[in-house]
Structure 1
Amino acid sequence: MLPRPELPPLPVVAVRAAGSGDAEAVHRLSRPFVREGALRDRSLAELARGARDFLVAESEGGEPVGCVGVCGRTDARGRGAAVLYNFCVASGSQGRGVGSALLAAALREAGARGAVRIFAATTGGALLFLRHGFAAGGEEEAPPGWRASLDPARGSRILVRVLG
């Protein structure tokens, strides 16, 4: 695979908490990744019910270009934890700092919610997570319900980062 050419950063006006009106944008952003098998298929209704979990990155023109869900959980030892899910950036915005902005905001949000660890599962290369202090592993400490919901056929790897 050829390295991706360096693109100029995409001016991100804001990474903000999603509202109920953002469910369609989150669904639209997710669809290409669902088709590739990188994200779990979630209905528009399911995304609308979980809208308060999401952060949305907007371009200068106000167009949603990325999203991530941050869900509070309890880890296997009963400590506060957070789980990232449905993390995606529109293809034209990848490699331009949007994912980093979303991930930094998600880390702040998880810390503000009292999480001491944050978990993610990825089918990709995990480079963004690794650059932001995540490490492979953590399966034994991951929130049990979340860990059980992962589909082994998708080949997801669990990543963890200690907060604080």
Structure 2
Amino acid sequence: MSPRTTATRWYDAPEFSVRPARQDEGPELAALSRPFVRAGALRERPLSLYLSRACDFLVAQAPDGTLEGCLGLREHPAAGVLYNFCVAGHRQGTGMGARLLLAAFAKARGRSLTTLFTATTGSGGLFLRHGFAPTHPSLAPIAWARSLDPGRNARVLSRAL
């Protein structure tokens, strides 16, 4: 077989695929996020946000159709903000998060965004391994930076594309 027939796209694999979320998947995005909200890793967001912003999300889908990971990319002038990044516990450490992140980079580049920002209350290890670095919130999109809850002590990270 030629390399052309055996190659797979970097964002598809037999164990899961990464794709844009559909408008009707708001309830699944909310359900996937709920354990991370309970653990304090994510801010609580109303179902209406997931419904109205489903197009922001990339999802990792298992072969049976179950959503097992998601990552939102909100566009601002010249910059993007990654938010609501979560991977189901049984999928952590499998590369799912990295593939979601790489897909978000591709989506952001396709939209001609030059910088990505995110905020994390955790170690941020995955972001740091993929070129993010701590930055001051004043360098981020103003509306997003103002929406950060100071009580969560989140670190703001950025990465040039």
> Could you state the TM-score of these two structures normalised by the residue count of structure 1?
0.87
Decide which of 125, 138, 141 is 2:139's aligned counterpart.
141
Residue of structure 2 in register with 1:154 after alignment? 152
1:139 CA drift (Å): 2.1
Residue of structure 2 in register with 1:27 after alignment? 30
Q: Which runs of 4+ in 1 moved over 4 A?
A: none
Report the secondary structure of 1:115's partner residue.
Answer: coil
Decide which of 21, 25, 29 is 1:18's aligned counterpart.
21
Q: Deviations over 1:114-140 (max 9, x none)?
A: 110000000110000011111111423
Report the secondary structure of 2:107's partner residue.
Answer: helix
Cα distance between partner residues in 1 of 2:14 and 2:153:
33
Cα distance between partner residues in 1 of 2:159 and 2:151:
24
Specify every segment of 5 or more residues in structure 2 that has no aligned partner in the other structure, as ranges: 1-12
Provide the alpha-carbon RMSD of the alignment.
1.3
Cα distance between partner residues in 1 of 2:16 and 2:79:
29
Specify every segment of 5 or more residues in structure 1 that has no aligned partner in the other structure, as ranges: 1-9, 75-79
Report the secondary structure of 2:93's partner residue.
Answer: coil
Residue of structure 2 in register with 1:108 after alignment? 106
Question: 1:36 aligned to 2:34?
Answer: no
Aligned residue pairs: how many? 149
> Could you state the TM-score of these two structures normalised by the residue count of structure 2?
0.88
Question: What aligned pairs does 1:90-101 form with structure 2 within 5 A after superposition?
Answer: 90-101=88-99
Structure showing greater relative contact order (alpha-carbon pairs closer than 8 Å, 6 or more residues apart): 1
